[in-house]
């Protein structure tokens, strides 16, 4: 376990007990990041509420949103989001071989042209300032339709919020993917994997 920039605090109270139960049911343990956010319970509640609500969105394909989130996490360097994304891909029955390749999607040959456009869009939205082009937006609008593109765009924006917050707070991956017995994630081009 790493040291976060804000020390985790003990999760207490009735709401805290519910958070612990849900977390243990979902992950088998309590993510360190929850203890960090528990320093300000209303922030944690808002974050969990947003995650719960966005999980119900259904206009854009779940796998496209998963790959987009992982592309954001890879570009920003959020090891927690990558670890969790891979874990969720496995448990939600998504293509884990593709999920493994997201950090190096440009060199990989496993993605369709639509998936490549989604990954490019996620990275373009994550730049400062964003580098989304009219041509890319038009291709996605044509392939997905307006409701799905609006959903995907908002999903990517929220992924940026979560990933950037985790990196700033020093919240790192906790080995969820490894706990599933899955191979480690690919690393972005030009980056070497830790030994």
Query: Long-range contacts made by residues 162-165, C-beta under 8 angstroms, separation at least 24?
Result: 162/47, 162/78, 162/81, 163/72, 163/73, 163/76, 163/78, 163/81, 164/76, 164/78
Assess whether 46 and 66 both reside in one domain. no
C-alpha–C-alpha distance, residues 68 and 120, integer Å = 9
The fraction of the chain above a pLDDT of 90, given in percent, is 78
Assess whether 38 and 110 both reside in one domain. no
Assess whether 79 and 173 both reside in one domain. yes
Asked if the structure places residue 78 within a domain, the reply is yes
| pLDDT tens digits for range 3-19 | 899 999 999 999 999 99
Supply the CATH number for residue 158's domain: 1.20.1290.10
Assess whether 86 and 67 both reside in one domain. yes
- The residue assigned the tokens 């293509």 is 95
Assess whether 83 and 70 both reside in one domain. yes
pLDDT band at 192 (very low <50, low <70, confident <90, very high): very low
Instruction: Find the helix packing angle between 146-169 and 41-54, rounded to 10°.
Output: 150
Assess whether 19 and 82 both reside in one domain. no
Candidates 189, 63, 179; CA nearest to 118 is: 63
Assess whether 65 and 20 both reside in one domain. no
Asked if the structure places residue 117 within a domain, the reply is yes
At residue 181, the pLDDT reads 67
Asked if the structure places residue 113 within a domain, the reply is yes
At residue 190, the pLDDT reads 54
Instruction: Find the helix packing angle between 79-91 and 62-76, rounded to 10°.
Output: 160
The DSSP call for residue 104 is G
Assess whether 149 and 129 both reside in one domain. yes
At residue 182, the pLDDT reads 66
The count of domains in the chain is 2
Range of the domain at 16: 8-56
Assess whether 102 and 172 both reside in one domain. yes
Asked if the structure places residue 195 within a domain, the reply is no
Write the CB contacts of 86 (distance below 8 Å, at least 6 apart in sequence). 70, 96, 99, 100, 176, 177, 182, 185
Assess whether 68 and 41 both reside in one domain. no
Q: Tally Cβ neighbours within 10 Å of residue 107.
A: 10
At residue 3, the pLDDT reads 86
């Amino acid at each position: 376990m790493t040291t976060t920039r804000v020390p985790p605090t003990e999760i207490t109270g009735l709401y805290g007990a519910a958070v612990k139960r849900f977390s243990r049911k979902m992950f088998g343990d309590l993510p360190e990041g929850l203890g960090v956010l528990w320093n300000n319970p209303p922030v944690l509640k808002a974050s969990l509420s947003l995650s719960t609500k966005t999980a119900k969105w259904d206009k854009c394909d779940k796998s496209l949103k998963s790959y987009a989130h992982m592309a954001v996490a890879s570009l920003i360097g959020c090891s927690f989001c990558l670890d969790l994304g891979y874990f969720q891909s496995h448990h939600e029955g998504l293509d884990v071989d593709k999920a493994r390749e997201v950090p190096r999607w440009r060199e990989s040959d496993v993605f369709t042209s639509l998936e490549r456009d989604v990954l490019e869009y996620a990275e373009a939205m994550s730049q400062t300032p964003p580098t989304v082009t009219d041509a890319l937006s038009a291709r996605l609008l044509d392939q997905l339709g307006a409701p799905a593109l609006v959903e995907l765009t908002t999903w990517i924006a929220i992924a940026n919020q979560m990933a950037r917050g985790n990196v700033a707070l020093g919240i790192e991956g906790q080995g969820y993917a490894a706990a599933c017995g899955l191979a480690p994630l690919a690393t972005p081009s030009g980056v070497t994997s830790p030994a």
